[in-house]
Amino acid sequence: MQIYLVGGAIRDRLLGFSPPYENDWVVVNAKPDDLEKKGYKKVGKSFPVYINPETGEEYALARRESKSGSGYHGFDFDISPNISLEEDLARRDLTINAIAQDENGQIIDPYKGQEDLENRKLRHVSKAFKEDPLRVLRISRFKAKLHNLGFTITEETLNLISEIVKSGELLSLVPERIWLETEKTLKHSRFDQYFKTLIQINALNQVYPDLVGLKKDFFSNSIFQQASQEEVSTKYRFASIFYVLLKEGNINIKNIIESMQKSMNFPNSFKEIPLLLNNTFTLIDRDISEFSAEHILIIIEKLNALKKPKNIDMVFRLISMDLDKDFNDKKEILEKSLASALTIQINNIKEEGLHGSAIGEKLRELRLNKIQETL
């Protein structure tokens, strides 16, 4: 039994990225029993993947793949002990991901991945690349991850991608898997390159039908440059897409994001900021001279800031990425007004004997007066 470190950990180390690396291991000349006897726990359903009980890292038996159906699930696997390391590496998507290292630190690189790292090329290992539609998303994600290093997709690989797109197999991708690739992409500063690549290869409409019609220059907006800053979280990067949609006059971002969530089942936390923005942006974007006490209170109410004061900061952290506008004064007005409004609580009117809707109306009246005092 021989064990090799493979894939991303070697690629990232050779590129000079700082650890930690995501270690993946392939086991050659072994059977499932060999790993199970060592206490490794099987977790793979489609093919045997095992977890090392000491490190928690994944170990997969070397395997061959053959296309047997549509989509990225449509494969048969052979895990015979006589499958070589080179055969296992041949099934991988890109040459830069098909590099291995043995237990002595010796690099095994049968598909010239190091050469492509040096030349900054994203190149398929074999024509089997086109058998898995998920690889369209993966190579787009690697374009985002490695864009700042100058990586480009080779013409031959672009041709294979074009065949996948034309085949319609992208439509077979499970929506949850699309979201997983999306979330991974949002961790990269140049996440915009992922979407630009999908547009370039005419795949965006199949992968994200709710974003149909977006042009490549959409992701050239300066807001995405601000969203690429290292300290910006994935949620704000995701929300930046919807802010640009709003700026360009799309008034249905609520429908768009809810449709996307329904299909991809992403966490509610990723739609919170876009929906708050959808409720308030046209009000916030008005000239500051229109910020009367009534206008301010409406914004506060639509942000649900009386219950969640942090919502003001959440929205302004996003729109502050727009260097074409200055929202600082508006944020200051809203925060001061909210602080004043929050001094009015139910205890202020409990002696007035009000009931039902009259309580809410009185609270709003008092809060409006308090806000007026701050202006």
Buried b (16+ CB within 10 A) or exposed e, 333-347: bbbebbebbeebeee
Least confident of 154-168, 245-259, 307-321: 245-259
Q: What is the pLDDT of residue 208?
A: 96
Region 144-169 average pLDDT: 96
- Residue 133 to residues 67, 69, 73, 167, Cα–Cα distance (Å): 12, 12, 10, 9
Q: Which of 5-19, 137-151, 240-254 has the lowest mean pLDDT?
A: 240-254
pLDDT for 277-309, tens place per residue? 999 999 999 999 999 999 999 999 999 999 999
Rounded mean pLDDT, 59-64 = 93
Q: Is the pLDDT of residue 250 over 80?
A: no
Q: What's the rounded Cα separation, in Å, for the pair 98 and 108?
A: 9
Query: Mean pLDDT for the chain?
Result: 93
CA–CA distance, 192 with 134 (Å, rounded to integer): 19
Percent of the chain clearing pLDDT 70 (strictly above):
97
- Token duo for residue 345: 């609580």
Separation CA 125–CA 111 (nearest Å): 7
Closest by Cα among 80, 48, 198 to 138: 198
Domain ranges of the chain: 1-119
Instruction: Name the residue among 102, 135, 309, 109 with its Cα closest to residue 207.
Output: 135
Amino acid at the residue 197: T
Residues 229-247: tens digit of each pLDDT: 989 999 999 999 999 999 8
Higher per-residue pLDDT: 30 or 326: 30
pLDDT of residue 71 exceeding 60, the answer is no
Where does 1-119 sit in CATH, by number?
A: 3.30.460.10
Q: What is the pLDDT of residue 15?
A: 97
Tell me what the mean pLDDT of segment 363-372 comes to.
95
**Neighbour count for residue 17 (Cβ, 10 Å):** 15
- The percent of residues above 90 in pLDDT, for the chain, comes to 83
Torsion of CA 157, 86, 106, 27, to 10 degrees: 120
pLDDT, position 283: 95
Q: Where are the alpha helices (DSSP H) in the chain?
A: 8-14, 32-36, 85-90, 113-118, 134-146, 155-167, 175-186, 192-200, 204-207, 222-227, 234-247, 253-264, 269-284, 293-302, 310-319, 328-341, 357-374
How does pLDDT run across 99-116, given as a tens digit for each residue?
999 999 999 999 999 999
350: pLDDT strictly greater than 90: no
In this prediction, residue 190 carries a pLDDT of: 96
pLDDT-derived band of residue 73, with 50, 70 and 90 as boundaries? low
**Mean pLDDT, residues 313-331:** 92
